[in-house]
Amino acid sequence: MKSKDVSFRPPFIDLKLLTIVVLISLPIPIVSWLTAVGIQSRIESTYEAAIIEAVQKEKGVDIRQHPDVMSELSLDSRCWDYKETSSYIKQLCSTRSDISGLATFSMLTMILTGLVIFGILACGFVGRLNRFLLLVTFRIGLWFSQISVALLVLLNAGLAIATIYWAESWFIGRVHVGLIGALGLVAGLTALRIVIASFKFAHKVHARVFGKRLGRVDYPSLWNFIETIAKESRTTPPDHIVVGLEPSFFVTEAQVTCLDGNLKGRTLFLSLPFCRVLSRKELAAIVGHEFGHFVGMDTAYSRWFIPVYRGASDTVQTISSQIGNGSNGLQSIAFVPPLLVMNLFLSSFARLENEVSRERELAADKLGSLIAGSDNMVSGLVKVYAYSKIWEFTQDQMKSALQNGKVLTNVSAHFAAVAQVLPDDVFKKGLDQVYPSHPTDSHPSLAIRLQALGSELANVLGRDLKKVVESECAVHLIENFEALEVELSELENYKMIKTGVVEINTPEVESKVRAETA
């Protein structure tokens, strides 16, 4: 069982992360600038020593005692003299010009890095003003961050190579061409990888559910029920309804992959086990809550912000985990700065996303209570939070049965039976520390949600969980629900074996189980 304090409000700016980003992003341009300044000083001092020695030998005069002559013979003056014929001076002037370019390039990179960091923080600040600006600034800010990260990687790679080349030339008098070439190749490949990876940050959430799609023709009662709730919610009904064994209810417009293939459009997912322990009115309240996310401005938020925000967050975490395993060597290290920049961008929206998510969940609860009544919304919520614990217990029972050469033929019925026989105290313990499973959203704690509905968690915990009579059981809205439950149970058992969740050691037991789940 997962636990999470979603009422936690992270600070607007993560100062620790900001400091790390600054410290990691600036060293290369700073070192390049210092190197350029050092080489420029070395060029000036080398030329000055050479010209003093030459005049001393030719004229017997120490020109250091004659500032006017020193000024006239300075390298700067000779570089600007178009009549200059000395190849040595021309080479020095050309080198000094290149080094000056390196210094300027380094300074511009430092300025650009500062502007990128400032722009990221500004996007997060502007997004706090209202919901519309949140949608606009996040989209623009995400692309700005991606392009900036890719550009900074290329700039830093170029600076690093140029700095190594000139530093070796002037300070050790030897250039390791092979080493610099290898570094250039690695840097180029790494930069290309980061450019490609950076545009994966904005991928939308792709929900995967282990469930069956229910067609309108074969399940008219359920579709009529759902469409009625959608009408009362003043929103568009779903394009697809999927049922599964997971203890979750959600509506999403992200692409959903289920046992029947990929689904596009709006998809409603219903939990068959929960439909056995919820009344029709409780299910109406929960579905009304889900439809509440697609009412008014929340529609744009659910459609355009949440999927991209979650997708970007998931991508950052995925790439971070790939770096953590150390399999990509030096190239993985190069991913650290851009990932930190992307984390800084996401963290600047974290508190805002947390606050908006809390508000929209409470508003959706209110719509669910208007559709089905406050009591049904409260009892439905409590059951979703409380009975979610049973699913893990049920999965353990499935594993145990499989290891003994048996199967639970109807996992959903087993789930409901456990809910009926176990004392309520088993489910109520730590009830405020759990949250329902959802592929793209976070939810406030149960106490906060109940309080917004005019109820108190302490009062709810003091009462028995509301049991549902068979005639009012929500699962009866689904035609031939038992056949669906058995089919999904067989597939769930088979998945456990196929994926290695359950290890069956003896061929006899494995053959028996596979035969029963076939």
What DSSP string runs through 393-460?
Answer: HHHHHHHHHHHTT---S-HHHHHHHHHHHS-HHHHHTTGGGB----SS-----HHHHHHHTT--HHHH
Q: Summarize the confidence of residues 281-287 as an average pLDDT.
A: 96
Residue pLDDT, tens place only, 132-158: 777 788 878 877 887 787 788 778 878
Lowest mean pLDDT among 246-250, 343-347, 423-427: 423-427
Q: What does the pLDDT read at residue 22?
A: 86
Looking at the predicted structure, is the pLDDT value of residue 499 above 70? yes
Per-residue pLDDT at 197 exceeds 50: yes
φ, ψ at 244 (rounded to 5°): -155, -175
Provide mean pLDDT across the span 412-440: 71
pLDDT band at 322 (very low <50, low <70, confident <90, very high): low
| φ/ψ (deg, to 5) at 252 | -140, 150
Rounded CA-CA distance 340/316 in Å is: 9
pLDDT value at residue 6: 39
The tokens describing 468, both together, are: 């549902």
Q: Would you say residue 460 has pLDDT above 90?
A: no
For 244, the 3-state DSSP assignment is strand
Q: What per-residue confidence (pLDDT) applies to 7?
A: 42
Residue 215's pLDDT band (cuts 50, 70, 90) = very high
Select from 361, 357, 506 the least CA-distant residue to 8. Answer: 357
What pLDDT is attached to residue 515?
53
Instruction: Return the residue matching tokens 């940050």.
Output: 201
Sign for the CA dihedral angle at 477, 480, 483, 487 comes to negative
First vs last C-alpha separation in the chain:
30
Is the confidence at residue 325, as pLDDT, over 70? no
Per-residue pLDDT for 426 more than 50?
yes
Predicted confidence (pLDDT) at residue 3 exceeds the cutoff of 50:
no
**pLDDT > 50? residue 392:** yes
pLDDT of residue 326: 53
- State mean pLDDT over 500-514: 59
Q: What is the mean pLDDT of the chain?
A: 81
Q: Which residue has the higher pLDDT, 307 or 103?
A: 103
- Rounded mean pLDDT, 348-375: 85
Per-position DSSP letters for 45-95, written without gaps between them: HHHHHHHHHHHHHHH---GGG-HHHHHHT-HHHHHT-TT---HHHHHHHHH
* Measured distance CA(441)–CA(323) in Å, rounded: 26
Q: pLDDT at residue 262 above 90?
A: yes
pLDDT of residue 69: 76
Cα–Cα distance measured from residue 490 to residue 494, given in angstroms and rounded to the nearest whole number:
6
Per-residue pLDDT at 153: 78
What are 56-84's pLDDT values in tens digits? 888 777 787 778 877 877 888 888 877 77
Q: Which of 154-168, 450-464, 500-514 has the least mean pLDDT?
A: 500-514
